[in-house]
Amino acid sequence: MINAAVVFDKVSKSYPMYHHITGGIKNLIFHLPQGIRSIKRTRYEVFHELSFEIKKGETFGIIGRNGVGKSTILGLIAGVLRQSQGTIVVNGRISPLLELGAGFHPDLSGRENIILNGVLMGLTREEIFKRVNDIIMFSGLDQFIDQPVRVYSSGMLTRLGFSVVAHLEPEILLIDEILAVGDIDFQKKCLERMAEFKKNNVTIIFVSHSMLNVERICDRVMWMESCTQKMIGSTNIVVKAYKEHE
Ligand SMILES: Nc1ncnc2c1ncn2[C@@H]1O[C@H](COP(=O)(O)OP(=O)(O)O)[C@@H](O)[C@H]1O
Ligand SMILES: [Mg+2]
C-alpha cells in the first residue's frame, strides 16, 4: 500500500441511463414526477467491484474494447468522476486528464490554456511563466498558439495537451488514447518523453488501442471486459491473450 500510486478496492461505477424511457416519451411527460424517478432509478453499471493496484513508478496499461470503462477509470483516478461504491486511494500529484480537449477552455487561446492548466495543477505564476515557452516550443503550434482552441484540429489539441502535461511535472500521468491522433513525428516525441518520465519514476497510466505502443512502454496491463477485469499481469502475457481473443 505504501508503494502504491493508485489503489482500487471493490470499486463499482454506474451511470444513470437516460436513453431508457419505458412506456414512451408521452407517458413520461404526462406522469412527470414518476417518470423522472424511474429514469433516475435506471442505471447502467460500467464495472462491478473492480480491484487493482498500481505501484509507484510503474507504467500501467489499460486495454479493452470501446465502452468497457477505460476512460471512466481514468476519470475516477483524476477525481473528475465519483465511484458509486468502493474505495479509491491515489498517492501523488495527478496530471490533468489527457483526453482529447479535456481540460481546455474552447474560448481561451492555447497560451491561456497552458497557464490555466498550470494554475489548476497548483503551480505558482512564476513556475508557470518559466515553462510557457518550453511548452509552446514542444507543441510546435507556432502561430496557432494565440488562437482560441476551438479552432484547433484534434491533432493540434493533442499536441497542446501532451505538451502541457509533459512540462508540469506530474507524479502520476494519465494518458487516454491520445497517441492515436498525433502525426508520426509527434507520436515519437511523446513516446520519448514518456520514456523519460519512466526513468524519473513517474507513474504512467496508459490507455491505448495500439498494442505496439502498449508493448513498448507498459510494465503491466489490465484487460477490461464489460463489467469486469478479464486479466491483469505482465504486458507480454496479457497482450498476447488479448490479441488471440480479438
Ligand atoms: N457521462 C456519462 N453518462 C452516462 N454514461 C456514460 C458516461 N460516460 C461514459 N458512459 C458509459 O459508460 C461506459 C464506459 O465508457 P468509457 O469509460 O468511456 O469506456 P472506454 O473509454 O473504455 O471506451 C459506456 O457504456 C459509456 O456509454
Ligand atoms: Mg475512452
User: Tens-digit pLDDT profile for the chain (246 aa)?
Assistant: 668 999 999 999 998 876 555 666 777 777 777 777 766 667 889 999 999 999 999 999 999 999 999 999 999 998 889 999 999 999 998 876 665 556 788 899 999 999 888 887 778 888 888 899 999 999 999 889 999 999 998 888 888 888 888 887 889 998 887 776 678 888 888 888 889 999 999 999 999 999 999 999 999 999 999 889 999 999 999 999 999 998
Give distance in angstroms: CA of 118 to centre of ligand 2.
24
Continuous segment of H or E residues that includes residue 150: none
Give distance in angstroms: CA of 122 to centre of ligand 2.
26
For the chain, state the CA radius of gyration: 20
Cell 510546435: give the residue: 140
Residue 166: per-residue pLDDT = 84
Residue 189: per-residue pLDDT = 85
What residue ranges define each of the domains in the chain, with the CATH number in brackets?
Answer: 58-78+93-245 (3.40.50.300)
34 backbone dihedrals φ, ψ, rounded to 5°: -65, -40
Give me the residues near ligand 2 (ion), CB cutoff below 5 Å: 70-71
Contact 213, 200 (CB under 8 A): no
Give distance in angstroms: CA of 33 to centre of ligand 2.
33
Residue 97: per-residue pLDDT = 65
Rounded distance between C-alpha atoms, residue 114 and residue 94, angstroms: 16
Q: Which residues contact 78 (CB under 8 A, 6 or more apart)?
A: 94, 96, 97, 174
Q: Which residues does a 6 A CB cutoff place in the pocket of ligand 1?
A: 15, 46, 66-72
What DSSP state is assigned to residue 122?
A: T
Residue 30: per-residue pLDDT = 75
Rounded distance between C-alpha atoms, residue 141 and residue 129, angstroms: 17
Return the C-alpha cell found at 77.
483516478
Residue 88: per-residue pLDDT = 98
Rounded distance between C-alpha atoms, residue 93 and residue 212, angstroms: 28
Looking at ligand 1, which residue's alpha carbon is closest to its atom 6? 15
Return the C-alpha cell found at 204.
504512467
The preferred substitution site among 46, 98, 223 for testing ligand 1, maximizing ligand atoms within 8 Å of CB, is: 46
Give distance in angstroms: CA of 142 to centre of ligand 2.
29
- Atom index in ligand 1 nearest the CA of residue 72 equals 17
Continuous segment of H or E residues that includes residue 44: strand 43-55
pTM: 0.84
End-to-end CA, the chain: 34
Looking at ligand 1, which residue's alpha carbon is closest to its atom 8? 72
Residue 77: per-residue pLDDT = 94
Residue 39: per-residue pLDDT = 66
